[in-house]
Amino acid sequence: MKLTILGCHSATPRDNARPTAQVLELRGHLFLIDCGEGTQMALRKNRIKFARIKHIFISHLHGDHVYGLIGLISTFCLLGRESDLTIYGPKGIKELILLQLRLAKVYTSFDLRFRESVENKETLLYEDDQLAIHTIPLDHRVFTQGFLFQEKPGDRKLDVAACESYGIDQAYYRKIKQGFNFVLDNGEVIPNVELTTDGDEPKSYAFCSDTVYKEDIVPQIQGVTALYHESTFLKSHAHLCDKTKHSTAEEAATIALKANVGTLILGHYSSRYGDYNLFKEEAQTVFKNSELALDGKVFQF
């Protein structure tokens, strides 16, 4: 699982501070999460192939999370894209994009699909045989949802020595790795646990931006490999959270602690701060394994 931060700042873009966008690489997929201004330039800078992006997830319709989307779609058209593109987001995302395309008389050369969320509740957005993606209900000034990306358990690991001791032909190895028991010629059943060991732990990633402190998301994100949680303010400005519906670094760390996540990634910093290390220091007083999102930074799990 690989996460590339394209942008991690709040409000307006600046020379060295792009608004929210990131790419998650998981099980052969390349998922774009949010698409603030300058996202396509950040994609080029990080050498991420446009054609591999087939699913885009938009958390909410504030500009610093979506204003780069129409530009990216227009570029897809100019490049002669042919593969389907699906956009997941709150109700209104389809109207927003199609209106801009219509007024600009831009016609897509590919099938552009939308999956809009209407109710702010956990919803399955995407599923295949390797992973599932659900929404995470958040609390912001407009309808906002996070996203939970979860690998499904993979095959078990084959104990070749154990299989050979029973004289099992290699033709049966795949079935055994899939969890099946093996029956010997004499009818004896060899339990799968005697022929395999546990496979790799499935990885998971939770994206939570923007939101006020919301403890009821903890059960849904319990034990995720990595959590991105907005930390717009330091606790010295906690009084601004109720008005703006944002969180502090300390609050993000509290969610990470309660959910027992592997790694907390902080982001969505307010421009009032010049030293982002203050966010990390504040979070680490609550949750030690806290890291800073930075434009262009790559996390591997």
pTM of the model: 0.90
For residue 268, give every residue at least 6 positions away whose Cβ sits within 8 Å of its Cβ, in sequence order, or none.
8, 9, 10, 20, 209, 210, 230, 231, 232, 246
Helix (H), strand (E), coil (C) string for 110-129: CCEEEEEECCCCCCEEEECC
Q: Beta partners for 136?
A: 146
Residue 159 is a catalytic residue? no
Could you tell me which of 22, 34, 37 has the C-alpha nearest to residue 60? 34
Q: Which residues contact 144 (CB under 8 A, 6 or more apart)?
A: 59, 60, 90, 120, 138, 210, 211
Active-site entry in 15, 34, 64, 159? 64
Query: 263 and 227 in contact (C-beta within 8 Å)?
Result: yes
Measured CA to CA, the distance from residue 44 to residue 73 in angstroms comes to 15
Q: What pLDDT does residue 273 have? A: 95
Chunked into runs of 10 residues, the chain (301 residues) has average pLDDT values of 97 91 97 97 96 98 97 96 97 97 94 96 96 98 98 89 91 90 91 89 96 98 98 97 97 98 98 96 98 98 96
